[in-house]
Amino acid sequence: MYSKKDDSNNNQNKRKADVIVEESRANLIRRLSLVANKKVKIWKALLIIVFAAGFATSLAWSISTDKISESQAASAKIKCSDSDGGKIFELKGTCQDNKGKTTDYCVDDKLKPVSESQKVREYYCDSKKDKCAVTTIKCPKEKICKDGACVFPFCESLNGHICMNNEICASTYLNAGDSFRCCSSNCLVKVPNIGEERTLVILAKMSDGYDNLQPTAEIQDLVFNKLNKYLTENSYGKMWISGKIAGPYTIAGGICSIPEYGQQVKEIMQRAVSAADNDIDFRNYDRLIIIHNSLNCSLTHEGGFYTLSTQEGNITLPVVRIVAQMGEFTLYHETGHTLGSKIGHISSLSCKDNNTDYSLLSNSCEKRQLFEDPYDVMGFASHIVHYSAINKEIASWLDKKDIITANEGVYSLTPLESSTTGIKAIKVPMPNMAWEIFLEYRTPESSDSGNPPAGVVAHAREGGMPWIEYFLTDFSKSESILEIGRNYIIADSGIGIKVEKVTAENAMIRITNSKKLTQCNDGIDNDNIIDENGYKDALDYSCMENGLYNPHHPSEVEPFQCEDGMDNDRDGLIDMADPHCESWNDYWEFIQ
């Protein structure tokens, strides 16, 4: 039975047990303290050593890191640069330093960015501090700020265009110069045969014609696929065409009743343009192709430059006119006539030397009939091959880096059809003669069994006349290429031409000059046919270099009058500033 006495006894026993536990705990602490006191110095020493080692390591790492950071900072420091070369407000530039990049931009009077204004925030390099600085420049009164540069109003990208009146375009444009000037809006003109040629095709159905036009899809393929590919390949990618087809339109007949052929041609073109006039703004196109059905007169095909009347006023365009079903060759041939007013048909020459033996060229040549040149669509009626080097030069597809003028030395020709870099043609001016020979290495597509063989081909031009080109070959042997290893001596000039080696990549040509003469020291007016001024040697502008007569200059034809820096016709206008110059490689400044 539970009682309060029992509860008291239990409490006493519990207190005794607690005392015993506390005494045991105290004894244990005292013993551990004695042990700890004996080893405290060791533990302290260990702790100090560990701390010291860690601190030393940390300090060494910090010092090493500081040194690396200093080295990296020194190597990473960017020298200040400015893409437009300084305070050149005519060009948009970007300045870069250690803080980053900053680009020029247009601002208003409160220096807020705007798309157009009279002021530009121009960033440049402060040479003393080697960092970017900025200033605000007011554009000259005739210019505005547009896209971070001071330019003439309405100045846009001139790809495929040039400035008239000898203006110079900014360096990012086609006819770049050292000056930073862009065309004013009223002088911008398209560069013929360069860049995109916007082409309009008009389909015309003559009311008194006797056959049908091809389906529009076939004409689309013929012009904007096949012709475009042909021109792109010939120009090495410098020219291509795009555009649309308009029509077909029904055109009034009666063309054949017009008595004069030239009037027939002009009338059919004008009627086709008038029929499409309500649908077309002709100012948006660079060239025109007219395809119509056949007529009962000899009005077949034509290519050239024509002025026609439209609702927007008179336009002058290169125009090709062909009869339906004429096909690729005719289209390519007539297009050739529109690549330059100096591109005509190609004739051939049959020449003999003083001993009546065959000669590649002489002063006694028989001018044969047209269309005997299988290496140019302008000279033979059954082969689709590239235009000749002469015609490619006129079209501005070959320039000075592609053609060399020489009358002595060894040269490597790359194939004219190939887009690989290298010399595409050698001009050999003939001393004692009013002739120059063009050498080109031709490699027509071998897949066409009708194409002529690959090899070195020679063409000639008399007195530099660009519209009359001759194909040179030994007709007695029915060969169209120069024989490898044969030395062709032109006795009248003393020039020898030899094809030494031909590979798939190039042809090696050796030119010798036994008389050591040039057109600039032979005593005759070699280019009298084109300039008719009687000037020869020291009096011929082409024989001048830096204002001094150079008797060793090979040609009286080159430099061309439109690139020689001279006022050849003495009208106060020089080179491309002269309206008589259609391009830099035009032969004369005077009216023809």
Residue 337 has a pLDDT of 95
125-138 pLDDT tens trace: 998 999 999 999 99
CA end-to-end span of the chain: 151
Per the DSSP assignment, residues forming a β-bridge with 125 are 132
Q: Span 417-432, mean pLDDT?
A: 93
Query: Which pLDDT score is estimated for 135?
Result: 94
- Looking at residue 377, what is its pLDDT? 92
β-partners of residue 136 are: 121
5-49 tens-digit pLDDT? 454 555 555 555 454 545 555 554 555 455 445 444 444 444 444
Taking residues 177-197, report their average pLDDT.
57
Dihedral Cα 67, 71, 76, 81, nearest 10 deg: 130
Q: What kind of architecture, by CATH, is found in domain 195-337?
A: 3-Layer(aba) Sandwich (3.40)
The predicted structure's pLDDT at residue 11: 52
Distances (CA, A) of 434 to 190, 356, 497: 34, 20, 18
For the stretch 354-399, pLDDT in tens is: 666 778 888 888 887 777 788 999 987 567 899 999 999 989 899 8
Alpha-carbon distance of 288 to 281, in angstroms, equals 12
Q: Which two tokens stand for residue 350?
A: 């049959």
Hey, is 443 helix, strand or coil?
coil
R_g over Cα of the chain: 42
In whole angstroms, give the CA distance from residue 197 to residue 397: 14
Residues 6+ apart with CB under 8 A from 154: 184, 185
pLDDT recorded at residue 65: 46
265-306: pLDDT as tens digits: 999 999 999 999 999 999 889 999 999 998 888 788 999 999
Greatest mean pLDDT range, 44-58, 87-101, 174-188, 442-456: 87-101
pTM exceeding the 0.75 threshold for the entire prediction: no
Residue 40 CA to residue 7 CA, distance in Å, equals: 49
| CA angle centred on 145, ends 142 and 146, rounded to 5° | 120
Residue-level pLDDT at 106: 94
Q: What is the mean pLDDT of residues 314-319?
A: 93
78 token code pair: 């960017």
List the structure tokens of 126: 């402060």
Comparing CA positions, the residue from 204, 206, 202 lying closest to residue 297 is 206
- Determine phi and psi for 111, rounding to 5 degrees: 65, 25
Question: What average pLDDT does this structure show over 58-62?
Answer: 45
For 450-509, the pLDDT digits (tens) are 788 899 999 998 875 656 788 887 766 666 899 999 999 998 899 999 999 999 999 999
In the prediction, which pLDDT does 12 show? 56
Q: Which residue in this structure is represented by tokens 């105290």?
A: 26
Sorted by where each begins, the domain ranges of the chain are 1-33, 95-151, 195-337, 346-524
